[in-house]
Structure 1
């Protein structure tokens, strides 16, 4: 059974920051030199101060930045212990579709209700990191209408709320050295909107498992399961293991690029890994998530989000 009542560490990063109007998803690799690693340590130790420096201009815009650390980078920081489930993103490859694992040591999830604050934070952050890192992916996301993706459906309906937020996203007594931390998985998906828009609304709704206009859930047509069903993981008693999604659309009509940046925070990394297996392999196997016929995953990364005292300790070399 899922644990439902526990104390939330007060120094958890702002995983539960309110859904924002804008976001930057920045993934970087740390260059191989010891001096580069030392420079990164210094920046990580000062992340909270940097957020205050930029965010004071408009406190109501809720600027925040969550920092995630990849498996290989965690090893480089030299700690004798590691989060129980921290591991690289697992590549999934089938005859029809694949979920690639792509490089990345650090994830910076920058959020605010003003695009200029996201821009300024990222600009100063990259100035501080300098040549110690190489940017491997940068996506600028935006909130689209009433929290819809570019496929036209509401995204993130099943997010936890209230007391369930911490239970779903923050590590607890099962891994006490890392209590208050979280796991985060990111993927960048590119959409073939021409193919999607060639489908009828009823066909689209069958793929997603919800009505397009009002977001009401629909029953699956067995044995083919809808996206919302394949992305739902339950225990033996039927209780759902929730995750926090803060997906955002991105794109450029001029270049014909349209996509969704998936980002999921979870207390239990295996939950998201199982979701992705069900989507790409199918349940039963062979009946994959039909959203993949119009949405192609081009990146994939897994990171650990340490609580603030561990993030500062990494920065101090402790």
Structure 2
């Protein structure tokens, strides 16, 4: 199936507000999701046309299990369920999520209205597992007081880091998105010195300048999330992290959202953060930040949204894999043995 490599609005400029919705899809309701995909553009326009200065966009991602339940044919080559990471002291959990919506605009209310329309459109087919309303904080800082997204690639570098290309031609123009919700111990963080905070992050707090190699600890966040190959190539992702919080619930956090052409890149970052590089040398930020969700989704191109892959029929979906019909190794199939 030929695919126009035009991506969804992944490379659009960062905005001031966002809504992040993680949904699960009821068994047997997969067609409702497939039917929604070509309609998303119209829903965005119905809200955004009245608010042309808001820059309203909606990015949709599909999880591995829902993909297999919904579409016939091949799956994106690197799509799989989020792989939890468990170190000696820190844990990045894998949590439920079939469908993901990243809604962005200048202000929150267009995102809210679009989310409401999508939720109404899907009805009982889905359950909202997680809803986060993100906002830009002072000077684009997170709630820990540091500027977030400083090292995002731009222009052609961003496209190269984010978009699937000839390595998986059926899904060119798509991307993968990893999401995690982190809750912060702000009281504990604020009780530490500015120098200790800078060493945990790997940047100066005031001017956002990265610490030099002689000063930057090897267990700082910057050091552990910098992936450099043996040939010197640095692997990048595009982050659109946002602060969020609830005064009533006493929850203050960062919603991590990273787009990449290959999920192996953010997965390696998580391995280094939670297990350590070397093992045991874990991210200092995890002493104050706890991951409570974890998901991975594939974000199709706009052409694939407009013309989704064929629906997976019930007969195909229920047909057992011959290699596993009688056990993982096929043991027990006695036909033709005697």
- Output the TM-score relative to the length of structure 2: 0.88
**Distance (whole Å) between structure 2 residues aligned to residue 278 and residue 10 of structure 1:** 32
Task: Give the aligned partner of residue 142 of structure 1.
Answer: 135
Matched position secondary structure for 2:145 = coil
**Is the 2:22–2:99 Cα contact (8 Å) retained in structure 1?**
yes
**Distance (whole Å) between structure 2 residues aligned to residue 78 and residue 307 of structure 1:** 15
Deviation at 1:9, TM superposition (A): 5.4
Deviation at 1:315, TM superposition (A): 7.5
Task: Give the aligned partner of residue 211 of structure 1.
Answer: 204
Which of 15, 20, 35 aligns to 1:20? It is 15
**Distance (whole Å) between structure 2 residues aligned to residue 215 and residue 89 of structure 1:** 31
Is 1:202 the counterpart of 2:195? The answer is: yes
Shift of the 222–207 alpha-carbon distance from structure 1 to 2, 3 Å rule, reads: closer
Shift of the 45–317 alpha-carbon distance from structure 1 to 2, 3 Å rule, reads: farther
Larger C-alpha radius of gyration, 1 or 2? 2
Is 1:95 the counterpart of 2:97? The answer is: no
**Is the 2:144–2:186 Cα contact (8 Å) retained in structure 1?**
yes
**Distance (whole Å) between structure 1 residues aligned to residue 217 and residue 240 of structure 2:** 29
**Is the 2:25–2:127 Cα contact (8 Å) retained in structure 1?**
yes
Gaps of 5+ in 2: 313-338
Task: Give the aligned partner of residue 59 of structure 2.
Answer: 66
State the aligned residue count: 309
**Distance (whole Å) between structure 2 residues aligned to residue 186 and residue 46 of structure 1:** 24
Deviation at 1:115, TM superposition (A): 1.0
Alignment of 1:1-318 (within 5 A): 11-33=6-28, 36-220=29-213, 224-314=218-308, 317=311
Deviation at 1:43, TM superposition (A): 1.3
**Is the 1:26–1:135 Cα contact (8 Å) retained in structure 2?**
yes
Shift of the 57–10 alpha-carbon distance from structure 1 to 2, 3 Å rule, reads: farther
Matched position secondary structure for 1:228 = helix
**Is the 1:225–1:289 Cα contact (8 Å) retained in structure 2?**
yes
Deviation at 1:14, TM superposition (A): 0.6
**Is the 1:44–1:311 Cα contact (8 Å) retained in structure 2?**
yes
**Is the 1:184–1:305 Cα contact (8 Å) retained in structure 2?**
yes
**1:47-70: per-residue Cα shift (whole Å, max 9, x none)?**
011100010111111000000000
**1:229-253: per-residue Cα shift (whole Å, max 9, x none)?**
1111112222211110000000012
**Is the 1:42–1:315 Cα contact (8 Å) retained in structure 2?**
no
- Output the TM-score relative to the length of structure 1: 0.94
Matched position secondary structure for 1:116 = helix
CA root-mean-square deviation: 1.6
Gaps of 5+ in 1: 1-7
Matched position secondary structure for 1:103 = coil
Q: Structure 1 runs of 4+ off > 6 angstroms?
A: none
Shift of the 222–23 alpha-carbon distance from structure 1 to 2, 3 Å rule, reads: closer
**Distance (whole Å) between structure 1 residues aligned to residue 77 and residue 35 of structure 2:** 26
